[in-house]
């Protein structure tokens, strides 16, 4: 928590890739010409036989008014500059502690880091002896703690409820954040929770170059792919990682999207790479196409918790439930959900998920 800087966790990609005879062009892709097999960048054009898109996400901070961090008082940690901004904001906050809100906006999918931040900041404050001066409230669109966009897993819900109770972290589930100001976080239904530092995870979207290329992505900018991560309409185009369109596992009163983890990204990349290699060499691709699983480590300050996937098991019979923690008031319900909090998929993906064993109907994973 604030102990390491960006340079401490960075290394130079070019030499690492050169060792595998991969040329690294450090350029920004600005668009794709799918019919001509061209990638346009800020420096030049690149031709391709096969294209693999792994551009991750764009944080849709605009989904919640005031969700900065550079255009409003709310903070995020979804990118290195945002994490560094949060570090400075936290340093200032610690000089003048007060109420804090941690949570996720409607439609968020990367929910784990919000839990980690709440638990880590609790630990930090206890170590500094200032926890009693910082009431912490956790606000989430999830129907219950630990849903994580995947319908929960194992006893993660009970575990997180227990941790929050023990650490006196209040929480509100099924709650849609509607605005962040310098003094408060407003939620649907009209309540405003006092907050001097608000860390809110935004919903995600595809990056501009992908989102704005005609025929490449769904309306949210994510790429629809088949079980081998091939584009549904352009078979020479692949996508892996957060750039891929994955449907939510179930409908929830306030939208929550499926978490696309780094561990899953690696598996997707392996499947796509083996498919491309097989097509080039004329051989059959090796490996299972649906072996998606997730392994996560939750940093909780003084200790951590690891979790492993439950591949190919869907949380089929979990109906959405609302849970309210020690807030003294009920959950704020279904109202006022922004459109950018909508599911991360589109009709094409939904159609595919109605079929047998398709990627758009992802395996359940545990965090
Ligand atoms: C705070 C936090 C904690 C997390 N914790 C975990 C965890 O414990 N376990 C886990 O499995 N996952 C975790 N994740 C999720 C994990 O980081 C992502 O799933 C993973 O990084 C996604 O990989 P990706 O390659 O799809 O995208 P990214 O890692 O985001 O990489 C995308 C790359 O594309 C580049 N790019 C974007 N646009 C362009 C463009 N136009 N031109 C050229 N390059 C471009 C970006 O600069 C970036 O380098 C966490 C995420 C966050 C934010």
pLDDT tens profile 204-237 = 999 999 999 999 999 999 999 999 999 999 999 9
Cβ of 241 less than 6 Å from ligand 1: yes
How far, in Å, CA of 232 to CA of 223, rounded? 9
Minimum-distance ligand 1 atom for the alpha carbon of 56: 27
Q: Where are the domains of the chain?
A: 6-58+206-281, 59-203+316-340
By mean pLDDT, which of 85-99, 208-222, 276-290 is the weakest? 276-290
pLDDT band at residue 49 under the 50/70/90 scheme = very high
Distance CA 154, CA 152 (A): 7
Query: Quick check: CB of 261 below 6 Å from ligand 1?
Result: yes
CA pair distance 268, 262, nearest whole angstrom: 10
Active site residues: 110, 296
For 258, the enclosing helix (H) or strand (E) is none
Ligand 1 atom closest to the Cα of residue 209 is 41
Structure confidence at residue 2 as a pLDDT band (50, 70, 90): confident
Q: What is the mean predicted confidence (pLDDT) over 304-327?
A: 51
Ligand 1, atom 29: closest residue by C-alpha: 56
- pTM of the entire structure? 0.86
Q: Regarding predicted confidence, which is higher, 150 or 347?
A: 150
- Mean pLDDT over 58-65 rounds to 96
- Fold classification of 59-203+316-340 (topology level): FAD/NAD(P)-binding domain (3.50.50)
CA 76–ligand 1 middle distance (angstroms): 15
pLDDT of residue 197: 98
Percent of the chain past pLDDT 70, that is, above it, reads 82
Which numbered atom of ligand 1 lies nearest the CA of 264? 11
Query: 129, 171, 149, 359: which is closest to 255 by C-alpha?
Result: 149
Domain 6-58+206-281 matching CATH 3.40.50.1100: the answer reads no
Report the pLDDT value the prediction gives residue 219, as an integer from 0 to 100: 96
How many whole angstroms from its chain centre is CA 343? 13
Q: DSSP for 75-86, please give it.
A: B--SSHHHHHHH
What is the structure's pLDDT at 312?
Answer: 39
Say whether pLDDT at 73 is over 60.
yes
**Is residue 145 within 8 Å of 175, Cβ to Cβ?**
no
Closest CA to 8 of 60, 104, 84, 96: 84
CA distance 249 to 316: 8
Fold: same for 6-58+206-281 and 59-203+316-340 = yes
For 12, 238, 244, 324, the CA distances from 24, given in Å and listed in that order, are 11, 19, 23, 49
Side-chain half-sphere CA neighbours of 194 within 13 A: 5
Model pLDDT, residue 290: 62
Tell whether the model's pLDDT for residue 302 goes beyond 70: yes
Q: Work out the average pLDDT over 43-66.
A: 97
Q: What does the block give as tokens for 347?
A: 């009709």
pLDDT digits (tens, 9 = 90+) for 263-273: 899 999 999 99
Specify the pLDDT at position 343. Answer: 58
Average pLDDT (350-359) is 29
Q: Which DSSP category does 133 fall into? A: G
pLDDT bin (cut points 50, 70, 90) of residue 363 is very low
Atom 35 of ligand 1 has which residue's CA nearest to it?
55
Q: From residue 149, give the alpha-carbon distance in Å to each of 58, 93, 101, 141.
A: 18, 30, 20, 9
């Amino acid at each position: 928590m604030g102990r390491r800087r960006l340079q401490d966790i960075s290394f130079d990609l070019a030499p690492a890739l050169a060792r595998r005879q991969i040329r690294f062009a450090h350029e920004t892709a600005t668009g794709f010409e799918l019919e001509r097999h061209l990638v346009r960048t800020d420096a030049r054009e690149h031709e391709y036989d096969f294209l693999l898109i792994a551009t991750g996400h764009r944080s849709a901070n605009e989904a919640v008014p005031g969700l900065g961090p550079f255009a409003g008082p709310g903070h995020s940690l979804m990118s290195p500059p945002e994490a560094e901004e949060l570090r400075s904001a936290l340093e200032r906050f610690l000089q003048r502690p007060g109420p804090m809100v941690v949570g996720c906006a409607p439609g968020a999918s990367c929910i784990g880091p919000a839990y980690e931040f709440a638990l880590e900041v609790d630990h930090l404050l206890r170590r500094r002896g200032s926890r009693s001066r910082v009431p912490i409230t956790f606000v989430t669109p999830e129907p219950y703690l630990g849903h994580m966009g995947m319908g929960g897993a194992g006893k993660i819900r009970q575990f997180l409820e227990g941790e929050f109770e023990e650490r006196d972290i209040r929480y509100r589930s099924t709650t849609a954040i509607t605005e962040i100001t310098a003094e408060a976080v407003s939620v649907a239904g009209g309540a405003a929770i006092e907050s001097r530092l608000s860390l809110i995870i935004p919903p995600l979207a595809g990056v501009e170059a992908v989102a704005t290329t005609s025929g490449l992505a769904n309306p949210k900018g994510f790429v629809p792919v088949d079980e081998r991560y091939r584009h549904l309409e352009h078979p020479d185009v692949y996508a892996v990682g957060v750039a891929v369109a994955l449907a939510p596992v179930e409908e929830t009163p306030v939208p929550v999207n499926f978490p696309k983890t780094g561990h899953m990204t690696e598996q997707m990349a392996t499947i796509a790479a083996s498919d491309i290699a097989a097509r080039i060499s004329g051989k059959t691709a090796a490996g299972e196409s649906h072996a998606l699983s997730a392994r996560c480590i939750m940093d909780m300050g003084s200790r951590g918790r690891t979790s492993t996937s439950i591949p190919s098991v869907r949380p089929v019979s979990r109906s959405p439930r609302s849970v309210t923690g020690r807030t003294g008031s009920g959950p704020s319900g279904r109202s006022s959900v922004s459109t950018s909090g909508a599911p991360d998929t589109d009709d094409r993906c939904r159609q595919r998920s109605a079929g047998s064993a398709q990627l758009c109907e992802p395996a359940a994973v545990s965090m």
